[in-house]
Amino acid sequence: MSAPRDVRIEHFARAGLAARGAVYLLVGGLALTAAIGAGGDVGGNESALRSLLSQPFGAAIIGAIGLGLVFFAAWRIYSAIVDPDGHGDTAKGLGTRAVHALSGIVNGALALTALTIALGVSAGGGGDDDAAQDWTAFLLSQPFGRWLTAAVGAGVVGAGLFHLWKSWRGDMLKRLSVPAERRSLALIVGRVGYAARGVVFIVIGGFLIAAAIHGDSSEAKGLGGALQALEDQPFGWALLALVAAGLAAFGAFGFLQALWRRIRAPDLSDAKAALDAIARKV
């Protein structure tokens, strides 16, 4: 007998959270080992996934991560439409839902990258920086392109500041049902992870703003470029090690979310009702 629809959605969401966690854990782990001179590589999501190809069953692991990211992207977009967490239709609620939709699109693109790598279709070599520069070039080519690019960069910086604020507040457990004996550890992992992700977002956003000011898309950086920029600073190895360890912690927190997040997953028919409601408003 098949599982109820809401149970399947919950399973998809948890698999997606674990997949995103695996990517961050891999990126952070590789950058950390590079920072302390123990091998590894300072790169972004794509280069981290490609590093698995040399491992036993590497293509299968990448494929599993890619499939999980498909689930995560679908759940994010589904959450933006149906709003199972009850963010509402206020300006703040709609903003949160818009961020969820954007997250779904970004992670959907990463899922496609992972699946093409796993299938041996992707030629490789471009990486996160090239993708960031391509998107920046597209934005700059639009009417008021510099202002548009600067606005996107400011939004990314704002997201980074929000992550730092969330780390300071320590409220990342409010949607998790964490056992009492694990709560302190989960809070530490979450705080460190959100702080590191916030730093990376601020750096990426800063490069976008610089690209807007100079009208030069080559100044845009992705995750790998942001980490390399940190490494290029005075005492950069220590700074990189701290941020990389934090990204690995964010990845570990993804697995904690997969285990303990409270997921309100209504029936898929609710998605149709939500889409109909949006269509009526438009």
pLDDT tens per residue across span 37-75: 888 788 889 989 999 998 999 999 999 999 999 999 999
On whether the CB atoms of residues 198 and 167 are closer than 8 A, the answer is yes
The DSSP result for 205-223, as a single string, is HHHHHHHHHHT-GGG---H
For 65, 155, 225, the CA distances from 196, given in Å and listed in that order, are 22, 17, 15
Domain coordinates in residue numbering, the chain? 5-281
Q: What does the alpha-carbon distance between residue 14 and residue 68 come to, in Å, rounded to a whole number?
A: 9
Question: What value does the mean pLDDT take over residues 220-225?
Answer: 94
* Other beta carbons less than 10 A from residue 86's beta carbon: 7
Q: What does the alpha-carbon distance between residue 192 and residue 96 come to, in Å, rounded to a whole number?
A: 22
Name the band, by pLDDT with cuts 50, 70 and 90, for residue 82: confident
Q: How are the residues of the chain apportioned to helix, strand and coil, as percentages rounded to the nearest 5?
A: 80, 0, 20
Task: Report how far apart the first and last C-alpha atoms of the chain are (Å, whole number).
Answer: 40
The yes-or-no verdict on residue 2 having pLDDT over 50 is no
Question: What value does the mean pLDDT take over residues 165-180?
Answer: 94
Least confident range from 165-179, 227-241, 261-275: namely 261-275
Helix (H) or strand (E) holding 145: helix 145-169
Q: Where are the alpha helices (DSSP H) in 215-267?
A: 223-231, 236-260
Name the band, by pLDDT with cuts 50, 70 and 90, for residue 27: very high
Predicted structure pTM score: 0.88
| Mean of per-residue pLDDT scores for the chain | 89
Q: What is the pLDDT of residue 276?
A: 57
Question: What value does the mean pLDDT take over residues 226-234?
Answer: 94
